[in-house]
Amino acid sequence: MVAYANGEDGELLCGFVKVWTSERNYPRVRASERARLRAEHSGKEDEFEAFCAKTMPAPEDVREDVIEKPPTDAFRHDAQYMATHISIVPPAEKLELTVRDTRTRPIPASLTATHAALEHPLRSSDRHGFAPPGHPSDQFYDAAAARVPPQPVPDGTQKLELEFLETIEASWATGESQPELWGQYAKRAEELLITMPLDRILRVLKAFVMARYRGADLLNRIGSELAREVKSASSTRLCQVFHWLARAGLRDQTLMSLMGNEALFRLSDDFVLDMYVEVMNVHARLDVRNPRLVGAMLREMAPFFRELSKDQCTSVIPLTVMSIFSDEARVAYLSRCAELNMGLPVRMTKPDVLRQFRLLEDCLRLDYHPTVLPAQVQLWLQNLKAESEAHDAIIPTPLSDVEKDILRILEQEMDVAVTPILQDSVLTLHLVLGKTVLQVMDAYDDYYVTPAMGGQRLVRAETKLQQRLIWRRGWRLLTLDAEEWKKLTDDIYKKDLLEELLIHGQHKPEHFFRTPHAIRSEKQSSVCMVPSW
């Protein structure tokens, strides 16, 4: 590079200046030097391998346990144990056991029996506390005798059973329904049920149901006997058991599970369409859920909904349509009813059938259910509702004895305006006070008989559906137990009970037996409220 500069005398000077750049000049490596470097590197690797050979443990030294053998030499240490003799100390020739009896010492006072009855045997038939001679509790268990097949019922016992069945069937046929009489029949039935076959047990159940007997002990005993017999029953008998259990209101979950399993096994064998309908109606009435059985029956019935006859459509109760059927089954059933034009024309339909389909129409219109119905079904329901309201003349159900007594107290003692009977579409309302409806709950028609609730009563599914429809129509519903009302012997108690029920709403069971003075004192201490009637 050339550079110019001014000298002292003003002359230009030129010269060369060396400029350093980023380029590097590396010395050349010869082949001999490359061979020397490679030799030095290989020497270091040999030294490292020799060092590792001295310090690294061998594979057989790296073991988790002393007795672990390497996979390459599985029998390496066997020779160490083959050369020696293994000896075991022989057992002792004599084993001595010393038993020390300490029962001769007096028992402490804290461990002695506090009562003489605790010293007696568990099974005692006399006042001395000893079992009689030859009692089974004093004999050893005989396995051979236990395997003996059951012996036939003696002829004398069978004769007593037949006479008893004829007696109770004649009593309900002639209308003898006195509770005292059927209470005696129930005690006799409990003695004879243990030897009865299934058909006679069903006859006993039918007789007590037709006589409207309310004893829970006998029905629970009949349920336990049926649980023993249903396994060997035919499919027809099984459906009969389902039917009369629903009529009796016996809601035994264990019995229904056993019968549901038996029905599930026989669905594909000899069950017909009417049996499917009967079993589903019973599950709806008893408010029992058996998902496997109901799902299997709905799958079997799905192809036959289009072939249902009018009688078969009538045999399906509205409660089954609303609570047991799935959405697909409900739409298929209602489509078949609309195709057959069930309930129409109104003047040519039986009153019971017309009431059933009017109740179904109310349930579909008032009771909430997210089912989208086809246009054909909606048109059929509209025509049924319009023609029924125009031409159907319903005869209201009369008041019961308890309702008549309540009406007397309301009109004479309390001076309240009461409508005794009011027909609201298909529902008959008793004891109407403005927008309040007083419903008397009957122990037989409105409650289940269930052995698993410890005395607590459950409301039947039909009654709950009726109450739900009353609420949907805008009524205020108050319930009163008929049995508790009958326990009140004075009109003062009855008046105070009705006043508290109408003012404060639903009562509690313990309110029935409080004195009038206690009820009045509570009313005076509380804020005065105006009744809704």
User: For the residues 213-228, what does the mean pLDDT come to?
Assistant: 93
- Mean pLDDT across 391-408: 93
Q: Is residue 287 part of a domain?
A: no
Nearest Cα neighbor of 165 from 140, 144, 138, 192 is 192
Task: Output DSSP code: residue 260.
Answer: H
| pLDDT of 67 | 64
What pLDDT is attached to residue 528?
36
pLDDT at 95: 73
pLDDT at 60: 62
Does one domain contain both 364 and 431?
A: no
pLDDT band at 124 (very low <50, low <70, confident <90, very high): very low
**DSSP 3-state of 415:** coil
For residue 134, is it within any domain? no
pLDDT score for 92? 74
In sequence order, what are the beta bridge partners of 449? Answer: 250
Residue 459 lies in a domain: yes
Question: How many domains is the chain partitioned into structurally?
Answer: 2
* Positive/negative CA dihedral, 27, 31, 35, 38: positive
pLDDT number for residue 510: 41
| One-letter identity of residue 346 | V
Is 416 part of any domain?
Answer: yes
**pLDDT confidence band for 252 (50 / 70 / 90):** very high
* Average confidence (pLDDT) over 416-431: 94
Q: Are residues 405 and 478 in the same domain?
A: yes
| Mean pLDDT (whole number) for 239-246 | 96
Say yes or no: 374 and 412 in one domain.
no
pLDDT at 524 over 60: no
Is there a single domain that holds both residue 383 and residue 406? no
Whether residue 413 is found in the same domain as residue 500: yes
Do 407 and 492 lie in one domain? The reply is: yes
Residues 417, 367, single domain; the answer is no
Q: What contacts 469, CB < 8 A, 6 or more positions away? A: 362, 363, 366, 367, 427
Percent of the chain's residues with pLDDT above 70:
72
Residue 421 lies in a domain: yes
Q: Which two tokens stand for residue 153?
A: 């019922």
- Please give the pLDDT value at position 42: 63
* CA-wise closest residue to 439 among 463, 416, 412, 465: 463
Do residue 413 and residue 448 come from a single domain? yes
Of 148 and 280, the structure prediction assigns the larger pLDDT to 280
Residue 400 in this model has a pLDDT that exceeds 80: yes
At a CB cut-off of 8 Å and minimum separation 6, what does 444 contact?
212, 214, 249
Whether residue 56 is contained in a domain is answered as: no
Percent of the chain at pLDDT exceeding 90? 58
Same domain, 450 and 494: yes
Are the CB atoms for 399 and 411 separated by under 8 Å?
Answer: no
pTM for this prediction? 0.69
Q: Are residues 318 and 371 in the same domain?
A: yes
- Is residue 198 in a domain? no
Does the pLDDT of residue 499 top 60, yes or no?
yes
In this predicted structure, what is the pLDDT of residue 509?
41
The reply to whether 359 and 431 lie within a common domain is: no
- Peptide linkage before 351 cis (omega within 30 of 0): no
**pLDDT on residue 55:** 77
Kindly tell me if the per-residue pLDDT of 444 is higher than 60. Answer: yes
> Of the spans 61-75, 282-296, 365-379, which averages the highest pLDDT?
282-296
pLDDT tens-digit map of 511-521: 433 444 444 44
Return the minimum-mean-pLDDT range out of 46-50, 316-320, 485-489, 522-526: 522-526
What is the extent of the structural domain holding 414? 401-504
Residue 232 domain-assigned (yes or no): no
The region of weakest confidence among 40-54, 174-188, 319-333 is 40-54
Calculate the average pLDDT of the chain.
81
My answer on whether 363 and 434 are in the same domain is no
Please check the confidence at residue 530 and state whether its pLDDT lies above 70. no
Instruction: Quick: pLDDT tens for 457-474.
Output: 899 999 999 999 999 999
Which of 130-144, 368-382, 389-403 shows the lowest per-residue confidence on average (mean pLDDT)?
130-144
Q: Where are the beta strands (DSSP E) in 434-506?
A: 436-441, 476-481
d(CA 448, CA 438) in angstroms, rounded, equals 21
Residue 517 vs residue 427, higher pLDDT: 427
Q: For residue 497, give the CATH number of its domain.
A: 3.40.960.10
CA-based nearest residue to 419, from 440, 401, 437: 437
- Three-state SS for 414? coil
Look at residue 498 in the predicted model and tell me its pLDDT.
94
Block residue for tokens 């058996």: 290
Is 129 a residue whose pLDDT tops 50? no
**Rounded to whole angstroms, what are the CA distances from 437 to 52, 406, 470, 481, 501?**
101, 13, 9, 14, 12
3-state secondary structure of 382: helix
Least confident of 61-75, 238-252, 297-311, 325-339: 61-75
pLDDT score recorded for residue 90:
78
Residue 265: count of CB within 10 angstroms of its CB = 10
Cα(491)–Cα(511) distance, rounded to whole angstroms?
A: 15
pLDDT at 13: 46
Token digits for 380?
A: 């059929």
Q: In which band, very low, low, confident or very high, does the pLDDT at 37 lie, cut at 50, 70 and 90?
A: confident
Radius of gyration of the chain (CA): 47
